[in-house]
Structure 1
Amino acid sequence: MADLNGKFFWYELMTSDPQGALAFYGDVLGWTAQPFGGERTDDPYHVVSGSAGPLGGIMAIPAEAKDCGLSPWWGGYIGSPDVDADAARLTEAGAKVMRSPEDIPGVGRFAVLNDPGGATFMLLKGNSPDGMEPAPPMAQGHVGWHELYSGDFDRDLAFYTGQFGWSTGEAMDMGPMGTYQLVSQTGGADFQNMDGGIMPRPNEVPVPVWLFYFVVGDIDAAVEKVKAGGGQVLNGPMEVPGGGWIIQATDPQGAMFALVGSRGAA
C-alpha cells in the first residue's frame, strides 16, 4: 500500500449548490458520484470518482463556515501519521491551525491549517489501516498537478520541502511574476517526477490558495463543456512544458479549479 503521508491525496469541494456542482463536474470530467456510506439525507457528502477510483468529495458549505464568509472552494488533504503531533510540529514551523484536530466519525482524524503564506490545507489520518492507492499519473478525472499561489514564496517553499520532504526541480524565471518552482511530493528530482509548482501569488488572485489541475483528454472539448455548463474560463488554453495544455477556471458556483489535457486527444 502506498505511503500517502506528506502528500495530497483527497480533494474536497465545499459549495453553495452540491447538486449543481455534481452535474457540472460530471459532464466536464466524467466523474461518477455516490453518497458517502449510502447516506440518504437531504444534504449528503458525495464521494466522487475518476477513472482510477475515488478521489474526493463534494459537500454543502457548513453553516458555521458560511457564517464566516466562506465562498465555494476546493481544498486538499495531506496524509498524516499523527494529526495532533503534525499540527503542533507545523505550527512551530510557521503554520497556523484554523481548526483544531478532531474526528470525523467513520473516516478519521483531521485538522485545518494555513501555511506560512496563508494558503489553507488539511491534514487527515484515515481510520482504515489499508489506506488507498494513488491514481496513476495523468489518470482521467484525477488531479495531475498541484499549484500554490503563495503568499510568502521563500517561507512556503522552505515549509513544504522541510516539513513534508518534498523535493525541488527546475526553478523557472517568469519575469515580473517571479519564480515558478517545480516540486515533487514523491521525492524525485527529474521532470517526470514533478507533480506541482509554487509561485508568488499573482495580483489577480485575491488570496493565497492551492489550485488543483484535473486531468481531461482534449482540452478544447473540455473548455466547451466548462462554458456550456455555466463555468468561466479565466486563462488559457495555454501550452506548458511537457506538451500539455492547461486552463484555469471557475465553476458555476464560483469555486476556482484548473484542467490539464492535450490537444486533439480522443
Structure 2
Amino acid sequence: MATSRTTGTTPDEKERATPARPRSYGRGEPAWIELSVRDTERAAGFYRRLFGWEHNRPAGERMSFGVLEGERVAGFRPMSDDDRGSARWSVYLATQDLEGTVTAAESAGATVLVAPRSASSWGRLAIVSDPTDGEVGLWEAEILKGVQAAPGNGTPVWFELASADHDAAVDFYTDVLDWECRELERDEAGDGDGTYTVLGDAPDGGAGITGLPTGSEDRSHWSVYFGTPDTDASVRRVVEIGGAVVSEPRDTPHGRLAAVADDQGGVFHLMGPTSD
C-alpha cells in the first residue's frame, strides 16, 4: 500500500501558510471540498498517486489537506466511529453570514444536519439537507478561504447537484444563496433530456443543477469534477491504484467525463478534453 508524504504545520504557522493573496469566494459559490474517510493517510496516498497531491497535516488538527504546487485543494477528515457509510466527498458553499444563511435555508424547507460550529481557526461550517434531500455544506471563511489551487489538472473544475426535483433545487439555491442562474439549451447541456441550470457565466469553479434520470433510485447529491489532461488514462490509473469505475468515459459538449470511486469508495468525477 502506498504511503503519502505528510508535512506538519504548527498552529502559529497556519496563517503564514495561507497565500498572501488568497482566492476568495462570493456568496453561494462552491468554496471548499472535503473527503470524509476512514483512513486519511491511505486516502492521501491514493490522491497523491492519481493527482500528485502532497499531504499536509497541521499539528493538533483532525483535518488534513491535499496540496498541489503549494496550494490547498481539499480536506481529509476522519469519519466518526458511528458513521457506517463509505467515504464521501462533500461540497461547501461560501457564505459571509453562516447563521443567517442557515436560518434562511430552514425557512426555505432545508433540514439542518450540522448546526453552525467552529472548524478550529480555519473557519465556521454548517451542513444542511436542501428540500430535495441534497446534502450540502456552508462555509464561513476565516484563515481557510477555500480551495486555493486554480481550476486545472488535479483540482476542482466543476461542481454539480443531481436533484430529484430540479426546479425545487433551483428555487432553493436562488432564494437562499442568491444564485443568478441560467438554463442551458439542450444541445449545450449534453446527454440526457432534462433541464440543466448553471450558476452565473463564469467557467471556472462554476456549478450546475441537473435532474436525476427518470426512474433513478439515487438520492439528490452534490459531486465534484477534477480536471485531467486525459480522462481515459486517469480512469485506468484509478483502477490500477485500487479504485473503481462508476461510469465509463463519454464525450459531452463540456469535455470527456467519467465517474470513478477511490479505494475507500469516495465517488468523484473526471473532466478532460474530448477524444477527437
Looking at structure 2, the residues matched to 105 and 139 of structure 1 have their Cα atoms a distance apart, in angstroms, of 29
| 5+ residue gaps, structure 2 | 1-22
CA contact (8 A) 1:51 1:139 kept: no
Asked if 1:247 is matched to 2:258, the reply is yes
Deviation of the 1:134 alpha carbon: 5.1
Q: Post-superposition shift, 1:157?
A: 1.2
Match of 1:108 among 118, 123, 135: 123
CA shift for structure 1 position 169: 3.6
Which amino acid letter does the alignment assign opposite residue 78 of structure 1? Answer: L
- Specify which of 152, 157, 179 is matched with residue 165 of structure 2: 152
Q: Percent identity?
A: 25
Task: Show CA shifts across 1:131-158 (max 9, x none).
Answer: 357544x422211111111022110011
User: Normalized against structure 2, the TM-score is what?
Assistant: 0.81
Structure 1 counterpart of 2:235, one-letter code: V
* 1:257 counterpart = 2:268: yes
Work out whether 1:220 is the aligned partner of 2:224.
no
- 2:46 corresponds to which of 11, 20, 24: 24
Q: Which of the residues 96, 107, 113 maps onto 1:81? A: 96
Provide closer, same or farther for how the CA distance between residues 132 and 147 of structure 1 changes in structure 2, counting only shifts above 3 A. closer
Task: Please give the alpha-carbon distance, in whole angstroms, between the structure 2 residues aligned to 1:236 and 1:169.
Answer: 26
For residues 15 and 91 of structure 1, what CA distance do their matches in structure 2 show?
Answer: 28
1:122-181 per-residue CA deviation (whole Å, 9 max, x = no partner) reads: 1111223x8357544x42221111111102211001112332223224142889954141
CA distance in 2, matches of 1:147, 1:248: 13
What's the CA shift string for 1:31-53, capped at 9, x where partnerless? 11110x234x8xx4221123571
In the alignment, the residues of structure 1 paired with residue 194 and residue 274 of structure 2 have an alpha-carbon distance, to the nearest angstrom, of 27
Amino acid at match of 1:30: G
**1:210/1:157 CA distance change after superposition, 3 Å:** same
Q: Note closer, same or farther for the CA distance 1:257–1:3 as it changes in structure 2 (3 Å cut).
A: closer
TM-score, normalised via structure 1 length: 0.84
CA distance, structure 1, for counterparts of residue 243 and residue 147 of structure 2: 31
Question: In 2, Cα distance between the equivalents of 1:151 and 1:96?
Answer: 16
| Residues 62-96 of structure 1: CA deviation (Å, up to 9, x unaligned) | 234x1xx4331100111111111110011111211
SS in 1 for 2:265: coil
Deviation per residue, 1:164-210 (Å, 9 max, x gap): 223224142889954141302xx32x8x4783322222355632110
* Corresponding residue SS for 2:27: coil
In structure 1, stretches of 5+ residues that fail to align are none
Structure 1: distance between partners of 2:190 and 2:228: 29
Taking the TM superposition and a 5 Å limit, the aligned residue runs for 1:1-266 are 2-35=24-57, 37-39=58-60, 44-51=62-69, 53-64=71-82, 66=83, 69-128=84-143, 131=145, 135-136=149-150, 138-164=151-177, 165-172=179-186, 178-184=193-199, 187-188=200-201, 192=203, 195-202=206-213, 203=215, 206-242=218-254, 244-262=255-273
